[in-house]
Structure 1
Amino acid sequence: MKHIVLLTGAGMSAESGIKTFRDADGLWEGHDVMEVATPEGFASNPALVLDFYNQRRKQLFEVEPNQAHFDLAALEKDYQVSIITQNVDDLHERAGSTNVIHLHGELLKVRSTGNHNKIKEWKTDLVLGDTCEAGYQLRPHIVWFGEDVPMIEKAATICETADILVIIGTSMQVYPAASLMHNITKNTPIYFIDPKPNIGSSDNITVIKLPATQGVTQLISLIKA
């Protein structure tokens, strides 16, 4: 059974109504990312940061997986499928995908500020005073700028076993996630799905210049041809 590895980013969830990470002006939902997506921002104004992610979490319950999410989940009938996502939503899982790695954390989880391995499910608002069993404030289980990406080594190992690599809705500009496409073996077919691709087709790269829902439909027809 062929192993398809998918690297997904903000464009994967955009058609579900989740905004991409940053708008053209560099703001995320009206906030400077340095205020809401760095350890320094959290230390400076933890209440602001907690409220920011509370709003993102609420939004997640207002959206549904789009057809591309469901189509990727359906691939598991005929292929070994591994999804490595930069997204912090749970739309891949809700669509039925069973092997998903979140490089940048998950909105529906929180962790202790005293022990990053103390992680728990969390679906309601997180406020100052919410603590772990040891008394440390809980924080969003999100990888902020300047923090290590704990799942990157596992993701790299998975990419090494790919028979097909698919990149959907990410410019592959954010490191270390962007380095993953270099972990595949030479001549592995790559499919790049994005309405505004920043790379061109080559011997082993097929660019599909479409949004995720249309692009995944075309992908499936190509790999099953």
Structure 2
Amino acid sequence: MSSTVSTDAVTIMRERHSVRHFDAAHRLSEHEIKELLELAGSAPSSWNLQHWKFVVFTDAAAKAKLLPIACDQKQVVDASATVAVLGDLQANRNAEAVYSPVIRAGLQDAYAGYASERILFSQIEEAYAVDASSPYRRDEAIRNASLAAMQLMLAAKAKGLDSGPMVGFDADAFVRAFHVPPRYIPVLLVAIGRAAKPARPTSRFPVEQTVVWNGFEPEEGDTPG
């Protein structure tokens, strides 16, 4: 596989399909995997806090350990690499590392649109100081890690590879088996490699069925907003 394989963005999006059957003989180098994950990490995130952590499975023994946790989905072991995408419940702790270098460098809009470093950091901390029962941290972790997962799959297709996302796994068992710190939650698995069989054909709703222009019409009995 050439590390420079690419095509236009529209073609990449249209040709990306979820593959279940991978060529077990195909290998990816550490450099190639890192290149894919670097691209995945260029995904957008709230406050640029980068709410993701990638656990990469390439070793046969580690894949075998993951297999029953992933409901025996064989792509876990056959893919060149299986990447567990985790979400960061404490992404506010990334703020200093994210913003201090650009603030020190005096870059334009270093405060991400805020009037000062103090206001920026205090708003981030305020958001993450929510009550423990609030879904905010979990929602943010899942939402932003999912953006990185999608970026990873598009990067794989741009490099001439195939991928398949999986949510059918035991998240609690994953945490126990691979000693995941409480800061992180498993969001999904992404198998990456070379397809041994084409992806199963799927259809998509026409855009007319999925788009609502300028809001929904009020239903009978609704109170006007």
More helix by share: 2
Q: TM-score range by the shorter chain?
A: under 0.3
Instruction: Point out the structure with max Rg over C-alpha.
Output: 2
More strand by share: 1
TM-score by length of 1: 0.23
